[in-house]
Structure 1
Amino acid sequence: MKWTWLRDYLGITLGTVITALALNIFLIPNKVAAGGVSGLATVFHHAFGFPVGMTMLALNVPLFLASVKILGTRFGINTLYGAAVLSAAVDLTAPYTPVLTSDLLLNSLYGGVVSGVGMGLVFKFRGTTAGTDLAAAIINKLTGISVGQALLGVDFFVITLAGIMFKSAELSLYALISLFVTTQIIDLVQEGPSAAKAFFIMSCSPDAVSDAIMTELGRGVTLLAGCGAYTKSERNVVFCVVSTSEVSRLKDLVYRIDRQAFVIVADAHEVLGEGFGSYQGRRL
């Protein structure tokens, strides 16, 4: 158990350092305030000369205290740790990080990618860096607005404020690009690339299809009870997950048995057990 906790804090630390490097190399020097507390701190840094890390901490502390009072202790010590380490990492690494390019598009894209990797690691190891997550949760509690909408609203406010303070709508547009890239990379880091495909197969011969999948591909199959809304006829839906290299073989197999089969293929970003990966998280 203690080694799992140590792994989590090491993962959170690594993630915050990577995020700090993304801010210092790509975003802060080029005034790309891609939402969140870091974006607000970037605005204050260029407007008033405040150090970004200390400004982030100064903004996060009251947010954290307010969240404890309004929401209880659900965010826990990992949130406080992540926020503190990120703030320290931003200020400590700032003097040693080079500005690689002045091209705003490159800074927005690479800043989004690198910060997404960092934040994804923080979330993957059960941490957060406070900031707008707390603000959105507080708004949700007080007003009933969904967390997603509140988060979008807060980030939009920060990006708009940056555009006004820097007198540049262009910078706001680049910040939106960076924010979008960051969210996509966060999901990719947490879920992993699409390494498998999930098949939902509606066939007149579900038993034959199931037997063929199990014998020819060696994959497990689940039969889901289904009923046609129009015909009211009951029929089993064949559900199966295969690796990407087996997709063509499975489609050939299905249509060899039933040329009229209806097949849905969906991305499965993380598959655990039954011949795929195993869960490496905390033991409960």
Structure 2
Amino acid sequence: MKRLLFDILGITVGSALAALSLVIFLIPNRIAAGGISGLATIIYYLTEFPVGILTLVLNIPLFIAVIKVLGLSFGIRTIYGMITFAVFIDLFQPVVPVLTHDLLLATIYGGIVGGLGLGIVFNSRGTTGGTDMAAKLINHYTGLSVGESIFLADGIVVLLAGIFFNAEVALYAAIAIFIHSKVIDLVQEGLRFSKAVFIISTNPEAIKDEVMSELDRGVTILNGYGGYTGDEKDVLFCIISRTEVAKLKRVVSKIDRKAFVIITNVHEVLGEGFKEIS
């Protein structure tokens, strides 16, 4: 129950931010940044029908179709997210001032705020409906991956924006979708970038012991062999923070200056010594 309450709170806050991004930046500038809300923005300018109600009305048949075809895979959090998102849009639109009519600024900040809101919703195991549900249906009937299905659904909305508005606005909408997706990833993966390190050395035991004692990091030994020589080699693998990179290099250099070291970025690490799995 406690987890559900936290999820509901997260969906509420996230839906409010996503609605604000539409009301303050995207809708006033005719930027239909994909999804059901983008389609609702286009219809709004053609009919003057409220965007929030349109979003909910367009989501309902999609929701019913998904339940009919795929079963109840979304549940209470999606129903709550759909309704809350739609209510916030129509609640904010008459009272919240438009901050800019510069298309570039509206695209950038609309993408950032909207992505932040949706990222919070997704982290709370919810969704505002729209593209997610459409993507599942496209995936079911065409065999396209969910990612490809989302791209197709958003692409159709952007194309409609180009037809009913103009090509320039459609291009800005595409940029907003890109920013949206990147911010969502950032919210879900976090800012705690770590480093994955692979070390190939003639003295792996000494390096392993030094890393474990000096950096207090666990080391995994992978069995490998040289592609050219065929000689068996132990490959050391460990995860360290960005601040530990220089220290690790000094440790390896002290033991084996000819060691082969690969250091690469890792977006998220869960487990002992890093972020707890939730």
Q: Same fold, TM exceeding 0.5?
A: yes
Kept after mapping to 2: 8 A contact 1:35/1:158:
yes
The equivalent of 1:246 in structure 2 is 244
Question: 1:25 and 1:270 mapped to 2: Cα distance?
Answer: 32
SS in 1 for 2:98: coil
- Following superposition, the deviation at residue 257 of structure 1 comes to 2.1
Instruction: Map residues 35-184 of structure 1 onto 2, 5 A cutoff.
Output: 35-166=34-165, 168-184=166-182
The equivalent of 2:189 in structure 1 is 191
SS in 2 for 1:96: coil
- AA aligned to 1:219 is R
219-228 vs 185-194, greater mean Cα deviation: 219-228
Question: 2:228 and 2:38 mapped to 1: Cα distance?
Answer: 52
The equivalent of 1:10 in structure 2 is 9
The equivalent of 1:277 in structure 2 is 275
SS in 2 for 1:63: helix
242-251 vs 34-43, greater mean Cα deviation: 242-251
Gaps spanning 5+ residues in structure 2: where?
Answer: none
The equivalent of 1:268 in structure 2 is 266
**1:224 pairs with 218, 222, 225, which one?**
222
Gaps spanning 5+ residues in structure 1: where?
Answer: none
Kept after mapping to 2: 8 A contact 1:220/1:274:
no
Question: 1:160 and 1:266 mapped to 2: Cα distance?
Answer: 38
The equivalent of 1:212 in structure 2 is 210
Question: 1:31 and 1:227 mapped to 2: Cα distance?
Answer: 58
Across the two proteins, how many residue pairs are aligned to each other?
Answer: 278
Percentage of identical aligned residues: 53
- Following superposition, the deviation at residue 263 of structure 1 comes to 2.1
Deviations 1:83-127 (A, max 9, x none): 111011111111121111111000000000000100000011111
- Following superposition, the deviation at residue 259 of structure 1 comes to 2.5
Residue 233 (str. 1) matches residue 231 (str. 2): yes
- AA aligned to 1:204 is T
TM-score by length of 2: 0.96
Q: C-alpha root-mean-square deviation of aligned residues, in Å? A: 1.4
TM-score by length of 1: 0.94
